[in-house]
């Protein structure tokens, strides 16, 4: 029964190792050398004989399959020393072993980590001066140890494992019906790791930013994230055009979402007047059917000019972009994206280092009753004041941004600028 349970455990270990090997996403090799002592267990115990420690050494080749586990192959030589009785000279069994085992670290992220070992292998041994031929056998093993990683390359380890053989002839003593071939391995040694990972984890490359008080070379945050790519000769013009269209569409959708949220809030606060308002809207639609088509046409015209203006901005054609945005402001004063056009005018002047004009244009954005560009405008007003050396006015703009829009994506940066003032 004991043999059957052991065989099942060995099979499970082999299957598990194969699964881990197939699922690996790292690849790290290692070689090692260990020496130590070996002591026989089993037949000699309790029969008047004696056992002593024999010499053993092994070479190890490992393949790390997980951050906390490796699979290794070992080849070694060891001696089993014993005597049949205390008064007789001792005998020596010379053994060669080939093992496949897995070492699993308990604390893989630490330089010092306990580990445990499971595995199986093959033996070839001969008892000195016995006249017997060399014998082949199989063994299973399990053990514990500790590793100490000196660096990413070198490490030391100390361990012991308990090994069972499937035969009963280590010492030329056979007891029927008993599984007695067993011995202990005590080993210490070093390992050397080399090679590279087969698939590296993606590395997150952080944007290198100058200190907050060094503004001269800083990019224009969110609104200029794509400026470099747009002017890069290797960038695709088709990708740029697609981006501008998406940007324009996002602005329009954001405006519609903002408008719908305001409308929903108004309807919730004035449910009693909903029917009257819907009736009024229906009368307007019935009374002015001809005005709907021109409005759709004008909306289409706005989108085309808006996209063209954005394209000019990202291509650094700031003067042309300003002309187009001003054209939209004159023809579509009531458009939901009018404040966006005003913001981009200020952004163009900011990009041309004309900071006083930029301050004036961003200030006009703040005059709109409804605009989702107000926090953007306040942020760049503050930056513009910093560029012209007006620290106190910059502080006021940043404080207003933090007070009125505490959840803005610019709030943290504004606090950083204030801390540096």
At residue 266, the pLDDT reads 63
pLDDT(329) > 80: yes
Whether 377 shows a pLDDT value over 90: the answer reads yes
pLDDT at 353: 96
Greatest Cα-to-Cα distance within the chain, rounded to the nearest angstrom: 124
Structure token digits, residue 365:
């954005």
Mean pLDDT of 377-395: 95
Provide the token pair at 412: 């943290």
Reported confidence tier of residue 190, pLDDT bands at 50, 70, 90: confident
pLDDT of residue 191: 85
89-106: average pLDDT: 85
Residue 183 has pLDDT above 50, yes or no: yes
Most confident of the following: 60-69, 189-198, 257-266:
60-69
Average pLDDT, the chain: 76
* Residue 106, C-beta contacts closer than 8 angstroms, at least 6 positions apart: 113, 114, 115, 116
- Of 242, 164, 46, 36, the closest CA to residue 250 belongs to 242
Domains and CATH numbers, the chain: 2-194 (2.40.160.20), 221-253+302-420 (1.25.40.10)
pLDDT tens figures, 127-140 = 887 677 788 889 89
* Cβ-Cβ contacts under 8 Å for 300 (sequence gap 6 or more): none
Mean predicted confidence (pLDDT) in 191-200:
65
Q: Percent of the chain beyond pLDDT 70? A: 66
Structure-model confidence comparison of residues 249 and 284, the more confident one: 249
Q: For residues 187 and 77, what is the distance between their CA atoms, to the nearest angstrom?
A: 12
Q: Is the pTM of this model over 0.75?
A: no
Q: How far apart are CA 210 and CA 216, in angstroms?
A: 9
Residue 7 has pLDDT above 80, yes or no: no
* Residue 199 predicted with pLDDT over 60: no
Backbone angles phi, psi at 135, to 5 degrees: -120, 140
List the single range of 1-15, 19-33, 288-302 with lowest mean pLDDT.
288-302
Whether residue 108 has pLDDT greater than 90: no
Give the 3-state secondary structure of the chain: CHHHHHHHHHHHHHHHHHHHHHCCCCCEEEEEEEEEEEEEECCCCCCCCEEECEEEEEEEEEEEEECCEEEEEEEEEEEEEEECCCCCCCEEEEEEEEEEEEEEECCCCCCEEEEEEEEEEEEEEEECCCCCCCEEEEEEEEEEEEEEECCCCEEEEEEEEEEEECCCCCCCCCCCCCCCCEEEEEEEEEEEEECCCCCCCCCCCCCCCCCCCCCCCCCCHHHHCCHHHHHCCCCCHHHHHHHHHHHHHHHHHHHHHHHHHHHHHHHHHCHHHHHHHHHHHHHHHHHCHHHHHHHHHHHHHHHHHHHHHHHHHHCCCHHHHHHHHHHHHHHCCCCCCHHHHHHHHHHHHHHCCCHHHHHHHHHHHHCCCCCCCHHHHHHHHHHHHHHCCCHHHHHHHHHHHHHHCCCCCCHHHHHHHHHHC
Residue 117 has pLDDT above 60, yes or no: yes
Render pLDDT for 201-250 as a digit per residue (tens, 0 to 9): 444 333 333 344 334 444 444 444 444 454 555 556 777 777 787 877 78
Highest mean pLDDT among 39-43, 60-64, 178-182, 414-418: 414-418
Residue 320 or residue 266, greater confidence: 320
Would you state the pLDDT for residue 22? 37
pLDDT at 400: 95
């Amino acid at each position: 029964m004991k043999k059957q349970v052991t065989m099942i455990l060995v099979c499970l270990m082999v299957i598990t190792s194969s699964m881990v090997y197939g699922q690996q996403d790292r690849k790290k090799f290692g070689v090692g050398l260990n020496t130590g002592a070996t002591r026989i267990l089993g037949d000699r115990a309790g029969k008047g004989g004696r056992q002593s420690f024999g010499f053993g050494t092994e070479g190890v080749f490992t393949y790390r399959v997980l951050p906390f586990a490796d699979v290794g192959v070992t080849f070694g030589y060891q001696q089993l020393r014993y005597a049949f009785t205390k008064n007789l000279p001792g005998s020596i069994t010379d053994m060669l072993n080939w093992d496949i085992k897995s070492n699993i670290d308990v604390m893989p992220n630490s330089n010092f980590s306990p580990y445990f070992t499971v595995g199986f292998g093959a033996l070839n041994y001969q008892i000195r001066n016995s006249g017997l031929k060399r014998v082949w056998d199989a063994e299973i093993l399990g053990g514990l140890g500790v590793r100490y990683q000196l660096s990413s390359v070198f490490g030391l380890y100390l361990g012991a494992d308990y090994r069972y053989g499937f035969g009963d002839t280590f010492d030329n003593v056979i007891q029927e019906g008993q599984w007695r071939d067993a011995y202990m391995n005590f080993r210490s040694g070093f390992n050397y790791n080399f090679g590279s990972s087969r698939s590296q984890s993606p590395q997150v490359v952080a944007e290198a930013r100058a200190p907050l008080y060094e503004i001269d070379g800083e990019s224009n945050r969110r609104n200029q994230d794509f400026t470099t790519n747009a002017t890069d000769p290797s960038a695709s013009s088709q990708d740029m055009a697609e981006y501008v269209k998406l940007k324009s569409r996002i602005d329009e959708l954001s405006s519609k979402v903002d408008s719908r949220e305001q409308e929903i809030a108004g309807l919730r606060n004035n449910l009693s007047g909903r029917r009257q308002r819907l009736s009024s809207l229906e009368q307007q639609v019935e009374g002015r059917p001809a005005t709907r088509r021109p409005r759709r046409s004008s909306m289409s015209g706005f989108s085309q000019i808006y996209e063209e203006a954005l394209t000019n901005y990202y291509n650094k054609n700031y003067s042309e972009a300003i002309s187009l945005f001003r054209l939209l402001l004159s023809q579509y004063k009531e458009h939901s994206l009018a404040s966006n056009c005003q913001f981009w005018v200020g952004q163009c002047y900011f990009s041309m280092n004309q900071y006083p004009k930029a301050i004036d244009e961003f200030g006009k954005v703040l005059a709109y009753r409804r605009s989702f560009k107000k926090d953007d405008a306040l942020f760049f007003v503050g930056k513009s004041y910093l560029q012209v050396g007006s620290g106190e006015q910059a502080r006021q703009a940043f404080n207003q941004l933090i007070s009125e829009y505490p959840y803005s994506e610019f709030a943290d940066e504004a606090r950083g600028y204030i801390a540096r003032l």
